[in-house]
Amino acid sequence: MTVRDVERNAMRRALALAVNGPAGFNPQVGAVILAPDGRILAEGWHRGAGTAHAEVDALSRLSPGEAEGATAVVTLEPCNHTGRTGPCSRALLSAGISRVLYAVDDPGVVSAGGADTLRAAGVEVEAGVLGDEGRELLSSWLTVQRLGRPHVTVKWAQSLDGRAAASDGTSRWITGAAARQDVHRRRAMADAIVVGTGTVLSDDPSLTARDADGALLADQPRPVVIGERQTPPEAAVRRHPREPLFFSSHDLSRVLDDLRRQGVQRVFVEGGPTLASAFVRAGLVDEVLAYVAPTLLGGPRLALDDIGVETIGAAVRLTLSSVERLGDDILLVARCAPTPSPANVKDS
């Protein structure tokens, strides 16, 4: 099937429309309805759980029969199940759509299959139109669907000999300004920043994302504190621009499940050796950011403590994905082996 330039342009428009919707538990999806001559008849996007999906939102702007013989251009495969709303595949068929183009396959166990339903009814379907751009738009959401939980990045700063602090506990600053600014940039890309109560009590971090001059960045991760000890009323984290979440549970899987239900897709763990080691030990780490300074500290305060490895054969093997020079420091980015967990997707 030949994809026309006007259809590719419509997909670019659909991708732009998609970002109007909220990022979270549900995917951001955009849709454009094209007349046979290439004119745009209607546009739509998904506005959140319980609202019309993008295809239905666009169709709702047309008069009965106006979509007959038209083409639907959608960023995600039309869903094939009934949740809070009905299946988009059936809505497109009922409207008389004769051709459907979409960018990304729906990975859901229940919601997928819309393309097959449409083809079986005689509709022309083309998958993967601007697929790379579509996957980039939905990258965090797709990762959550694969894992069945938020994507977890664990970050630490260490000396060349693997220490996260000097023997007296002081750790500001192991790395230089360029490395610290890179951390703030990455914080702003996350949905939640997670620390333990030990870090809160010892360092009193604000857990904000700031620019080089100390001003708050536009995007702020939601602060999350894990641990049984109480966070003091005057703690800096309580003055964060977003309301912090507190978990007394040590069950990290349950914490991640709770965060996912609240729309968190990207978790940035900055909680010190105890919490970082707990995430590694539980097999819940997808990416490691290790900022290494050309400094020697010695002593007992390692960047990680016990992660359950008793012999070299049980070592946690990572894949080094990038090495970056940041001033005098080095950033090592490594990824863990994927641990897929089947999960349904659209809440509808």
Structure-token match 């396959």, residue found: 105
Question: Maximum distance among all alpha carbons in the chain?
Answer: 75
Q: Return the HEC string of the chain.
A: CCCCHHHHHHHHHHHHHHCCCCCCCCCCCEEEEECCCCCEEEEEECCCCCCCCHHHHHHCCCCCCCCCCCEEEEEECCCCCCCCCCCHHHHHHHHCCCEEEEEECCCCCCCCCHHHHHHHCCCEEEECCCHHHHHHHCHHHHHHHHHCCCEEEEEEEEECCCECCCCCCCCCCCCCHHHHHHHHHHHHHCCEEEEEHHHHHHHCCCCCCECCCCCECCCCCEEEEECCCCCCCCCHHHHCCCCCEEECCCCHHHHHHHHHHCCCCEEEECCHHHHHHHHHHCCCCCEEEEEEECCCCCCCCECCCCCCCCCHHHCCCEEEEEEEEECCEEEEEEEECCCCCCCCCCCC
Phi, psi at 103, each rounded to 5°: -90, -45
Contact 22, 28 (CB under 8 A): yes
Contact 115, 108 (CB under 8 A): no
Among the listed residues 185, 167, 164, the one whose alpha carbon sits nearest the alpha carbon of residue 175: 164
Sign of the C-alpha dihedral, residues 340, 133, 211, 245?
A: negative
Catalytic residues: 55
Q: How far apart are CA 63 and CA 32, in angstroms?
A: 15
